[in-house]
Amino acid sequence: MEKIKMTTPLVEMDGDEMTRILWRMIKDELLMPYIDLKTEYYDLGLEHRNETGDQVTMDSAEATKKYGVAVKCATITPNAARMTEYNLKEMWKSPNGTIRAALDGTVFRAPIVVKGIEPCVRNWEKPITLARHAYGDVYKNTEIKVPGPGKAELVFTAKDGTQIKETIHNFTGSGILQGIHNTDESITSFAKACFNFALDTKQDLWFATKDTISKKYDHNFKDIFQEIYDESYKEKFEAAGIEYFYTLIDDAVARVMKAKGGFIWACKNYDGDVMSDMVSSAFGSLAMMTSVLVSPSGVYEYEAAHGTVQKHYYKHLKGEETSTNSVATIFAWTGALRKRGELDGIEALMTFADKLEKATVRTIEAGKMTKDLALITSLADVTVLNSEGFIKAVRETFESL
């Protein structure tokens, strides 16, 4: 069979440890035999980041802006232990943080739903995609531990010196204070990314804040979303047969528990932090979670939600067998290839992505899976495969479809 041709390169960001090993296997077994894979390769492995003074991460983000679609392997975010382990010149920043800042993106996370790995919430039939605003609020706060009685004020000084002043509280004893902010620009980017992603994936969009209590701060989020929706998206949503739905955060939480799934849930930064961990663990496993960073200008970066699976890598280095789940990394590739196909009008690439995803899901549903899933599956007849064995099994299923 002739290999599928690509016209525009994918930006390929290689990574670290066990996921770097899986990356190679996925390319060799599942992609290169079928696709004339065209990528612009960036090695984001920690050694190479260190050699280049992290320039490679910046370059890969710029390339993503240029070409529009990237696929990223999990990478190490250095801490003190990694400084010694890799003899680093500097404690380099999180590559995901750098890329997110460069692309001004919103991260969408969705579980890969498979029969036999049931969500804890019985009525969830379809995936729930979580969109988390990744700027500001409590993550960029200023705090004071109030030592004793006194007056706390909120003061804004404009460039021309004029001030807006509000009393926060007259303290009669000790206490605590916190200042948080967000910007209209960032909220606007977040809203656009959510509306675009909803249109792209043909799913309803839910957004929730606590605007009844926070009448200016949270209300501003609600207003910006509504204005952008009315101005630029209402007609497109109606044409696509999808809905934008705003409610209070506590109401959203209650409704999510009763819902069937199949929608996008947009959350403010803190809500998104908490709710994405709840949703992903309720769906079964971090190894079955995909993640895509979408910029307001329509640039996409696909990856797995989990890390480099360090413990498995150390076993691998000792020559021991590993059973590391490659599903989320496979889906990062299929997501990127499908998007590339869509943008370049290459039908065969989109069909390939669909078929590879189907083969991956069918392999698990046939009882062939890695150890992490074997531990939680409701299927009776299960064969636990090693890292390579699972990828080979997916290839067999793929060939049979």
- Report the residue number, 292 or 337, with the smaller CB distance to ligand NAP: 292
Whether residue 5 contacts residue 34, with contact meaning beta carbons closer than 8 Å, is answered with no
99 near ligand NAP, judged by CB under 6 A: no
136 near ligand NAP, judged by CB under 6 A: no
Residue facing ligand NAP at closest CB distance? 307
**Closest approach of ligand NAP to the CB of residue 15, in Å:** 6
> Residue 175's binding partner, choosing from Mg ion, ligand NAP, none, with beta-carbon cut-off 5 to 8 A by kind?
none
Q: What's phi and psi for 382, nearest 5 deg?
A: -125, 135
278 near Mg ion, judged by CB under 5 A: no
52 near ligand NAP, judged by CB under 6 A: no
Quick one: which of 310, 342, 348, 388 contacts ligand NAP (CB under 6 A)? 310
Buried b (16+ CB within 10 A) or exposed e, 253-277: beebeebebbbbbbbbbebbbebbe
Residue type, 37: L
- Report the residue number, 132 or 338, with the smaller CB distance to Mg ion: 132
**Closest approach of ligand NAP to the CB of residue 298, in Å:** 22
CA atoms within 13 A on the CB side of 126: 9
Q: What's phi and psi for 266, nearest 5 deg?
A: -90, 130
Q: Which of residues 281-300 bind ligand NAP (CB under 6 A)?
A: 286-287
Q: Which of residues 325-364 bind ligand NAP (CB under 6 A)?
A: 325
Whether residue 233 contacts residue 97, with contact meaning beta carbons closer than 8 Å, is answered with no
311 near ligand NAP, judged by CB under 6 A: yes
273 near Mg ion, judged by CB under 5 A: yes
Which is nearest to 18 in space by CA: 363, 329, 362?
Answer: 329
* 373: three-class secondary structure by DSSP: helix
342 near Mg ion, judged by CB under 5 A: no
33 near ligand NAP, judged by CB under 6 A: no
309 near ligand NAP, judged by CB under 6 A: yes
- Report the residue number, 101 or 240, with the smaller CB distance to ligand NAP: 101
> Residue 361's binding partner, choosing from ligand NAP, Mg ion, none, with beta-carbon cut-off 5 to 8 A by kind?
none
Q: Which of residues 360-389 bind ligand NAP (CB under 6 A)?
A: 372
Please identify, among the stretches 68-76, 127-135, 194-202, 203-211, the one whose residues bind ligand NAP according to the rule CB under 6 A: 68-76
Give the separation between CA 340 and CA 8, rounded to whole angstroms.
8
Give the separation between CA 50 and CA 368, rounded to whole angstroms.
39
Secondary structure letter of residue 87 according to DSSP? T
End-to-end distance of the chain based on CA atoms, in angstroms?
14
Residue type, 341: G
Give the separation between CA 185 and CA 52, rounded to whole angstroms.
32
> Residue 308's binding partner, choosing from ligand NAP, Mg ion, none, with beta-carbon cut-off 5 to 8 A by kind?
ligand NAP
**Closest approach of ligand NAP to the CB of residue 338, in Å:** 20
∠259-110-244 over CA atoms, to 5°? 55
* 179: three-class secondary structure by DSSP: strand
Residues near ligand NAP, by CB under 6 A: 74-77, 96, 286-287, 303, 306-311, 324-325, 372
Residues near Mg ion, by CB under 5 A: 273
